[in-house]
Amino acid sequence: MSRQLPPYPSGDLRQWATQLVEYLQNRDGVESEVIPAPVALSHRIGQERALQDGVLMYNPELGRAELTVSGEWLPIAHDIAVAFTNRVNGLVLTDPYQPLVFQSPLPPLPAGTYSVSIQLRVTGTGGAAFFQLRITEGGTPVAEGVENLLDNGEVAYVPIPFIVSTTSGDLALEARGNNATIETGVVTITRIGQP
Protein backbone atom coordinates (compact mmCIF):
# COMPACT_ATOMS: atom_id res chain seq x y z
CA MET A 1 0.00 0.00 0.00
CA SER A 2 1.37 3.40 -1.00
CA ARG A 3 1.59 6.17 1.58
CA GLN A 4 1.87 8.97 -0.95
CA LEU A 5 1.20 12.34 0.70
CA PRO A 6 -0.03 15.56 -0.89
CA PRO A 7 2.47 18.38 -1.46
CA TYR A 8 3.24 20.49 1.60
CA PRO A 9 1.85 24.06 1.33
CA SER A 10 4.92 26.25 1.11
CA GLY A 11 6.41 28.85 -1.17
CA ASP A 12 4.35 30.29 -3.99
CA LEU A 13 0.62 29.65 -3.39
CA ARG A 14 -0.13 29.16 -7.12
CA GLN A 15 2.68 26.64 -7.53
CA TRP A 16 1.49 24.69 -4.47
CA ALA A 17 -2.13 24.76 -5.76
CA THR A 18 -0.98 23.43 -9.15
CA GLN A 19 0.99 20.64 -7.44
CA LEU A 20 -2.03 19.80 -5.28
CA VAL A 21 -4.33 19.57 -8.34
CA GLU A 22 -1.82 17.30 -10.09
CA TYR A 23 -1.55 15.14 -6.97
CA LEU A 24 -5.34 14.80 -6.72
CA GLN A 25 -5.75 14.06 -10.44
CA ASN A 26 -3.08 11.33 -10.39
CA ARG A 27 -4.59 9.39 -7.48
CA ASP A 28 -6.44 6.87 -9.69
CA GLY A 29 -5.52 3.39 -8.60
CA VAL A 30 -3.37 4.59 -5.71
CA GLU A 31 -4.40 3.18 -2.38
CA SER A 32 -3.53 5.32 0.56
CA GLU A 33 -3.99 5.11 4.26
CA VAL A 34 -5.53 7.98 6.14
CA ILE A 35 -2.87 9.49 8.34
CA PRO A 36 -4.59 11.78 10.81
CA ALA A 37 -2.40 14.61 11.93
CA PRO A 38 -3.63 17.42 14.15
CA VAL A 39 -2.96 20.91 12.92
CA ALA A 40 -2.35 23.60 15.51
CA LEU A 41 -3.03 27.03 14.06
CA SER A 42 -1.09 30.02 15.28
CA HIS A 43 -3.23 32.42 17.28
CA ARG A 44 -3.91 35.89 16.00
CA ILE A 45 -3.34 38.30 18.88
CA GLY A 46 -4.54 41.89 18.74
CA GLN A 47 -5.20 43.79 15.55
CA GLU A 48 -2.12 42.96 13.49
CA ARG A 49 -2.36 43.67 9.77
CA ALA A 50 -2.30 40.98 7.14
CA LEU A 51 0.97 41.42 5.26
CA GLN A 52 0.46 38.48 2.92
CA ASP A 53 -2.57 36.72 1.43
CA GLY A 54 -3.32 33.08 2.23
CA VAL A 55 -2.31 33.15 5.91
CA LEU A 56 -4.56 31.03 8.14
CA MET A 57 -4.71 31.83 11.86
CA TYR A 58 -7.06 31.22 14.78
CA ASN A 59 -8.71 34.30 16.31
CA PRO A 60 -9.54 33.49 19.95
CA GLU A 61 -11.64 36.66 20.28
CA LEU A 62 -14.04 35.40 17.56
CA GLY A 63 -13.55 31.73 18.36
CA ARG A 64 -12.85 30.87 14.71
CA ALA A 65 -10.17 30.61 12.08
CA GLU A 66 -9.46 33.55 9.77
CA LEU A 67 -7.80 33.74 6.36
CA THR A 68 -6.05 36.75 4.82
CA VAL A 69 -7.39 37.88 1.45
CA SER A 70 -6.41 41.20 -0.17
CA GLY A 71 -4.83 42.37 3.08
CA GLU A 72 -7.99 41.71 5.14
CA TRP A 73 -8.62 39.05 7.80
CA LEU A 74 -11.77 37.15 6.78
CA PRO A 75 -13.46 34.59 9.06
CA ILE A 76 -13.65 31.08 7.65
CA ALA A 77 -17.31 30.19 7.05
CA HIS A 78 -17.45 27.29 9.50
CA ASP A 79 -21.10 28.03 10.25
CA ILE A 80 -22.25 26.49 6.96
CA ALA A 81 -23.19 23.09 8.29
CA VAL A 82 -26.27 21.05 8.89
CA ALA A 83 -27.62 22.03 12.28
CA PHE A 84 -29.68 18.86 12.38
CA THR A 85 -31.82 16.38 10.50
CA ASN A 86 -34.83 14.94 12.27
CA ARG A 87 -37.77 12.68 11.45
CA VAL A 88 -41.30 14.06 11.60
CA ASN A 89 -43.82 11.83 13.38
CA GLY A 90 -47.30 11.24 11.99
CA LEU A 91 -49.90 13.93 12.62
CA VAL A 92 -53.61 14.21 11.83
CA LEU A 93 -53.97 17.78 10.63
CA THR A 94 -56.54 20.22 11.96
CA ASP A 95 -57.16 23.92 11.51
CA PRO A 96 -55.69 26.07 13.25
CA TYR A 97 -51.94 25.46 13.20
CA GLN A 98 -50.39 22.86 15.49
CA PRO A 99 -46.71 22.04 16.12
CA LEU A 100 -45.04 19.29 14.10
CA VAL A 101 -43.91 16.41 16.30
CA PHE A 102 -40.35 15.15 15.91
CA GLN A 103 -38.67 11.92 17.00
CA SER A 104 -36.22 13.89 19.12
CA PRO A 105 -36.42 17.47 20.40
CA LEU A 106 -35.11 20.24 18.19
CA PRO A 107 -31.94 21.85 19.57
CA PRO A 108 -31.82 25.60 20.19
CA LEU A 109 -30.31 27.39 17.21
CA PRO A 110 -27.78 30.21 17.39
CA ALA A 111 -28.82 33.46 15.72
CA GLY A 112 -28.38 33.33 11.96
CA THR A 113 -30.00 32.54 8.63
CA TYR A 114 -31.16 28.98 7.96
CA SER A 115 -32.37 26.91 5.07
CA VAL A 116 -35.19 24.69 6.32
CA SER A 117 -35.99 21.77 4.02
CA ILE A 118 -39.04 19.68 4.86
CA GLN A 119 -39.86 16.44 3.00
CA LEU A 120 -43.31 15.09 3.90
CA ARG A 121 -45.57 12.23 2.93
CA VAL A 122 -49.12 13.52 3.26
CA THR A 123 -52.35 11.61 2.56
CA GLY A 124 -55.76 13.09 1.81
CA THR A 125 -58.32 11.39 4.07
CA GLY A 126 -61.56 12.98 2.85
CA GLY A 127 -63.04 15.53 0.47
CA ALA A 128 -61.55 19.03 0.11
CA ALA A 129 -58.27 18.07 1.78
CA PHE A 130 -55.47 20.60 2.20
CA PHE A 131 -52.38 21.21 4.31
CA GLN A 132 -50.07 24.15 4.93
CA LEU A 133 -46.80 24.67 6.86
CA ARG A 134 -45.27 27.68 8.57
CA ILE A 135 -42.31 28.56 10.77
CA THR A 136 -42.66 30.71 13.85
CA GLU A 137 -40.11 32.44 16.06
CA GLY A 138 -41.24 32.89 19.64
CA GLY A 139 -44.84 32.25 18.49
CA THR A 140 -44.78 34.88 15.71
CA PRO A 141 -45.00 33.60 12.09
CA VAL A 142 -41.82 34.33 10.09
CA ALA A 143 -42.40 32.14 6.99
CA GLU A 144 -45.49 30.49 5.57
CA GLY A 145 -45.91 28.02 2.74
CA VAL A 146 -48.77 27.79 0.27
CA GLU A 147 -51.91 25.71 0.80
CA ASN A 148 -51.43 22.31 -0.83
CA LEU A 149 -54.63 20.64 -2.07
CA LEU A 150 -55.16 16.86 -2.01
CA ASP A 151 -57.84 14.51 -3.29
CA ASN A 152 -59.34 11.81 -1.07
CA GLY A 153 -56.81 8.97 -0.81
CA GLU A 154 -54.14 10.91 -2.69
CA VAL A 155 -50.61 10.48 -1.36
CA ALA A 156 -48.27 13.41 -1.94
CA TYR A 157 -44.53 13.51 -1.37
CA VAL A 158 -43.94 17.18 -0.80
CA PRO A 159 -40.60 19.03 -0.58
CA ILE A 160 -41.09 22.40 1.13
CA PRO A 161 -38.13 24.81 1.34
CA PHE A 162 -37.92 27.88 3.58
CA ILE A 163 -35.21 30.46 4.22
CA VAL A 164 -35.54 32.10 7.65
CA SER A 165 -33.45 34.37 9.83
CA THR A 166 -33.61 34.15 13.59
CA THR A 167 -32.23 36.27 16.39
CA SER A 168 -33.47 34.17 19.30
CA GLY A 169 -33.13 30.70 17.79
CA ASP A 170 -36.62 29.85 19.09
CA LEU A 171 -37.98 28.46 15.81
CA ALA A 172 -40.96 26.11 15.62
CA LEU A 173 -42.44 24.28 12.65
CA GLU A 174 -46.23 24.12 12.51
CA ALA A 175 -48.83 22.59 10.21
CA ARG A 176 -52.53 22.99 9.63
CA GLY A 177 -54.96 21.25 7.35
CA ASN A 178 -58.25 19.51 6.83
CA ASN A 179 -58.91 15.88 5.87
CA ALA A 180 -55.15 15.26 5.63
CA THR A 181 -52.57 13.30 7.61
CA ILE A 182 -48.80 13.71 7.69
CA GLU A 183 -47.64 10.10 7.73
CA THR A 184 -43.92 10.68 7.92
CA GLY A 185 -41.28 13.18 6.98
CA VAL A 186 -37.79 14.55 7.43
CA VAL A 187 -36.69 18.07 8.24
CA THR A 188 -33.16 19.31 7.64
CA ILE A 189 -32.03 22.67 8.95
CA THR A 190 -28.81 24.08 7.51
CA ARG A 191 -27.16 27.27 8.70
CA ILE A 192 -26.31 29.42 5.70
CA GLY A 193 -25.19 32.68 7.28
CA GLN A 194 -24.51 34.88 10.26
CA PRO A 195 -27.18 37.30 11.54
Coil, strand, or helix at residue 164? Answer: strand
Q: What is the pLDDT of residue 1?
A: 45
Q: What is the pLDDT of residue 195?
A: 54
Q: What is the pLDDT of residue 60?
A: 80
CA atoms within 13 A on the CB side of 68: 14
Instruction: For residue 80, give the amino acid letter.
Output: I
Dist CA 146 CA 173 (whole Å) = 14
By DSSP bridging, strand 148-150 and strand 98-99 are unpaired
Residue ranges of the domains in the chain?
82-193
Dist CA 122 CA 3 (whole Å) = 51
Closest to 107 (Cα-Cα) out of 86, 129, 77, 122 = 86
Q: What is the pLDDT of residue 36?
A: 66
Dist CA 20 CA 136 (whole Å) = 46
Q: What is the pLDDT along the chain (195 residues), one digit of tens a residue?
A: 455 678 887 778 888 888 888 887 776 555 556 666 777 778 887 777 778 877 888 888 777 777 777 777 776 655 555 567 888 889 999 989 999 988 888 777 877 788 888 888 899 998 889 999 999 988 899 999 999 999 988 888 888 888 888 887 788 899 999 999 998 888 888 887 665
Dist CA 44 CA 91 (whole Å) = 51
Cβ proximity of 86 and 104 under 8 Å: yes
Q: What is the pLDDT of residue 98?
A: 94
Hey, what CATH topology would domain 82-193 get? Answer: Jelly Rolls (2.60.120)
Dist CA 183 CA 165 (whole Å) = 28
Dist CA 73 CA 44 (whole Å) = 10
